[in-house]
Structure 1
Amino acid sequence: MKTQHQDIHSKLSLGGLLLTLGIIYGDIGTSPLYVMKAIIGENTINQELILGGLSCILWTLTLQTTLKYVIIVLNADNHGEGGIFSLYSLVKRTKIQWLIVPAIIGGSLLLAEGIITPPISVSSAVEGLLIFKPDIPTIPIVIAILFVLFSIQQFGAKIVGKFFAPTMLVWFSMLGILGILQITKNFEVLKAINPYYAYKLLTSDVSGHGFLILGAVFLCTTGAEALYSDMGHCGRKNIRVSWIFVKTTLILNYFGQGAFLLLHNGKSLAQLNEHNPNPFYLIMADWFQPIGIVVATLAAIIASQALISGSFTLINEAMRLNFWPKVRINYPTDVKGQLYIPSINWLLFLGCVGIILYFKESKEMEHAYGLSIILGMMMTTTLLNFYLVMKRVKWYFIAPLITLYVTIEFSFLAANITKFYDGGYVTMFIAFMLIGVMSTWFLAKKISKSYTKMVKINDYKKVLAELSVDLSIPKYATHLVYMTNSTRSDEIEEKVMYSILQKRPKRADLYWFIHVNILSEPYKKEYKVNEIIKDDIYRIDFYLGFREATKINLMFKEVIKDMVKNGEVDITSRYESLSKNHIIGDFKFVLSEKFLSNDSDLTFFEKIVMNTYFTMKKFSLSEEKGFGLDSSSVKIEKFPMVLHAPEKISLTRIH
Structure 2
Amino acid sequence: MEGGDIMEGESSREENHVEGEEEHQHGIDKVLRSQRLSSKIADSFELESGRFTSNQGHGPHQAVDWESVLKLAFQSIGVVYGDLGTSPLYVLPGVFPDGIKHNDDILGVLSLIFYSLMLITLVKYVFIVLGANDNGDGGTFALYSLICRYAKVSLTPNQQAEDREVSHYQLEVPNRRLKMASFVKSVLEKNEKVKYLILFITMLGTSMVLGDGILTPCISVLSAVGGIKEAASSLTNTTIMWISVGILIFLFQIQRFGTDKIGYSFAPVLTIWFLFIGAIGFYNFLKYDTGVIKALNPWYIIDYFKRNKKDAWISLGGVILCLTGSEAFFADLGHFNVRSIQISSCCVVFPSIILAYFGQASYLRKNIEDVSNAFYSSVPKPVYWPMFVVALMSAVIASQSMISASFSIIQQSLALGCFPRVKIVHTSSKYRGQVYVPEINTLLMVACVGVTLGFKDTLKISNAYGIAVAFVFTITSTFLVLVMVMIWKTNILWIILYVLTIMLAEFLFLSSVLYKFTAGGYLPLLFTLILVAIMYLWNYGYRKKYMYELENKVSTGKLIEIASDPNIHRVPGIALFYTELVQGISPIFTHYVSNVPALHSVLVFVSIKSLPISTVPLEDRFLFGRIEPHELGIFRCVVRYGYKDPRTEWECFREALVTRLKEFIRREVLMSTLACNEEDEDQVARMMEEMVQTAAGKVDDALRLGDVVYLVGENEVMASKGSSLVKKFAINYGYNWLKRSVRQADEVFMIPKKRLLKVGMTCEV
Task: State TM-score, norm by structure 1.
Answer: 0.90
Question: Structure 2 residue aligned with 1:144, among 246, 270, 274?
Answer: 246
2:564 to 440, 458, 466: 466
Does structure 2 retain, via aligned residues, the 8 Å contact 1:10–1:237? no
Q: Distance in 1 between matches of 2:253 and 2:61?
A: 30
2:637 match: 540
Give the match for residue 308 of structure 1. Answer: 403
Maintained 8 Å contact 1:55/1:193 = yes
Matched residues in 1 for 2:423 and 2:645: separation?
Answer: 13
- Is the contact made by 2:719 and 2:728 (CA closer than 8 Å) also made in structure 1? no
**Which residue number corresponds to residue 611 of structure 2?**
519
1:509 Cα deviation from its structure 2 partner: 1.8
Aligned in 2, Cα 1:411/1:569: closer, same or farther, shift over 3 Å? farther
SS in 2 for 1:521: coil
Show the counterpart of 1:646.
Answer: none
Tell me the distance in 2 between the aligned counterparts of 1:87 and 1:76. 7
Contact 1:510 / 1:535 at 8 angstroms: preserved in 2? no
Partner of 2:764: 642
Q: Is the 8 A contact 2:230 2:376 kept in 1?
A: no
1:473: how far off?
5.3
Distance 1:342 1:235 in 2: 28
Of stretches 130-139 and 287-296 in structure 1, the one that deviates more from structure 2 is 130-139
Tell me the residue number matched to 1:382. 478
Query: Residue 173 of structure 1 aligns with which residue?
Result: 275
Per the TM alignment, residue 205 of structure 1 is displaced from its structure 2 partner at its CA by 1.3
Query: Equivalents in 1 of 2:719, 2:438: separation in Å?
Result: 35
> Where is the helix percentage greater, Structure 1 or Structure 2?
2
| Equivalent position of 2:165 in the other structure | none
- Post-superposition Cα deviations, 1:588-638, rounded to whole Å, max 9, x if no partner, equal 221111114597543211122112111111222221222233332221111
> Which residue pairs with 2:296 in the alignment?
193
Of stretches 503-512 and 84-93 in structure 1, the one that deviates more from structure 2 is 503-512
The alignment status of 1:562 with 2:656, answered yes or no, reads no
Deviations 1:136-178 (Å, cap 9, x if unpaired)?
A: 3112211221222222323333323332111101000001000
The alpha carbon displacement at 1:584 in A equals 4.5
Q: Which residue of 2 aligns with 1:43?
A: 99
**Residue matched to 2:427:** 332
Judge conservation of contact 1:153–1:160 (CA < 8 Å) in 2: no
Q: Per the alignment, do residues 23 and 569 of structure 1 end up closer, same or farther by CA in structure 2, a change over 3 Å counting?
A: farther
The residue type paired with residue 109 of structure 1 is M
| Structure 1 segments unaligned to the other structure (5+ residues) | 271-276, 644-655
Cα pair distance change 1:434/1:462, threshold 3 Å = closer
Aligned to 1:320, which of 407, 415, 422? 415
Whole-angstrom distance in 2 between the partners of 1:48 and 1:180:
20
Q: For 1:19 and 1:371, locate their aligned partners in 2 and report how far apart those are by CA, in whole Å.
A: 29
Change (3 A) 1:569 1:118: farther
1:120 match: 219
Secondary structure of the corresponding residue to residue 575 of structure 2: strand
Matches of 1:432 and 1:623, distance apart in 2: 27
How far is the alpha carbon of 1:399 from its aligned partner?
2.1
Give yes or no for contact 2:370–2:377 (8 Å, CA) kept in 1.
Answer: no
- Which residue in 2 is equivalent to 1:278? 373
Equivalent of residue 455 in structure 1, options 529, 553, 558: 553
The secondary structure found in structure 1 opposite 2:260 is helix
Find the partner of 1:134 among 233, 245, 248. 233
Q: Deviations over 1:369-401 (max 9, x none)?
A: 201220121111111111111222222221221
Deviations 1:503-559 (A, max 9, x none): 222232222112233223222232222111214211112233221123443432332
Indicate if the aligned counterparts of 1:563 and 1:569 stay in contact, CA closer than 8 A.
no
The match for 2:724 is 603
Deviates more, 1:620-629 or 1:65-74: 620-629
Write the distance in 2 (CA, Å) between the matches of 1:582 and 1:106: 48
Structure 2 gaps, min length 5? 1-56, 154-187, 189-194, 668-691
| Structure 1 residues 456 and 496, CA gap change in structure 2 (3 angstroms) | closer
State the distance in 1 between where 2:64 and 2:243 align.
Answer: 38
Relative distance call for 1:127 and 1:189 in structure 2 (3 A) is same
Percent identity of equivalent pairs: 27
Q: Which residue of 2 aligns with 1:651?
A: none
Amino acid at match of 2:586: E
Aligned pairs for 1:58-77 (under 5 A) are 58-77=114-133
Does the 8 Å contact 2:579/2:713 carry over to 1?
no
Deviations 1:63-89 (A, max 9, x none): 111111111111111111100000000
Coordinate RMSD, CA, aligned? 2.5
Q: Summarize the Cα distance change of 1:331–1:83 in structure 2 as closer, same or farther, 3 Å threshold.
A: same
Residues of 2 paired with 1:558 and 1:6: CA distance?
Answer: 30
User: Which of 580, 589, 596 is the aligned partner of 1:496?
Assistant: 589
| In structure 1, distance between residues paired with 2:707 and 2:545 | 32
Distance across 2 between alignment mates of 1:100 and 1:563:
38
Q: Distance in 1 between matches of 2:222 and 2:357?
A: 20
**What is the letter of the counterpart of residue 454 of structure 1?**
N
How big is each residue's C-alpha offset from its partner over 1:198-225, in whole Å with a ceiling of 9 and x where there is no partner? 221123218x712221111111001111
- The alignment of Structure 1 onto Structure 2 pairs a total of residues equal to 623
Between the aligned partners of 1:8 and 1:104, the Cα distance in structure 2 is 34
2:387 pairs with 292, 303, 328, which one?
Answer: 292
Q: Is the 8 A contact 2:217 2:396 kept in 1?
A: yes
For residues 427-447 of structure 1, the C-alpha deviation after alignment (integer angstroms, 9 at most, x for no partner) is: 211111111111111111122
Distance 1:478 1:572, change over 3 A: farther
Q: What are the within-5 Å matches in structure 2 for residues 68-467 of structure 1?
A: 68-92=124-148, 93-94=150-151, 95=153, 96=188, 97=195, 98-136=197-235, 137-185=239-287, 186-205=289-308, 209-244=311-346, 245-264=348-367, 267-269=368-370, 277-334=372-429, 335-391=431-487, 392-452=489-549, 453-467=551-565
Q: Shift of the alpha carbon at 1:40?
A: 2.4
Paired with 1:371 and 1:572, the residues of 2 have a C-alpha distance of 63
Q: How far is the alpha carbon of 1:329 from its aligned partner?
A: 1.0
Aligned mates of 1:128, 1:55 — CA distance in 2: 26
Which amino acid counterpart does residue 606 of structure 2 have in structure 1? I
Measure the CA separation in 1 of the matches of 2:560 and 2:106. Answer: 83
Q: Secondary structure at the match of 2:425?
A: coil
Is the alpha carbon distance of 1:473 and 1:465 closer, same or farther for their aligned partners in structure 2, counting shifts above 3 Å? closer
Structure 1 residue 343 displacement after superposition: 1.5
Question: Residue type of the partner of 2:599?
Answer: R
Structure 1 distance, partners of 2:465, 2:663, is 55
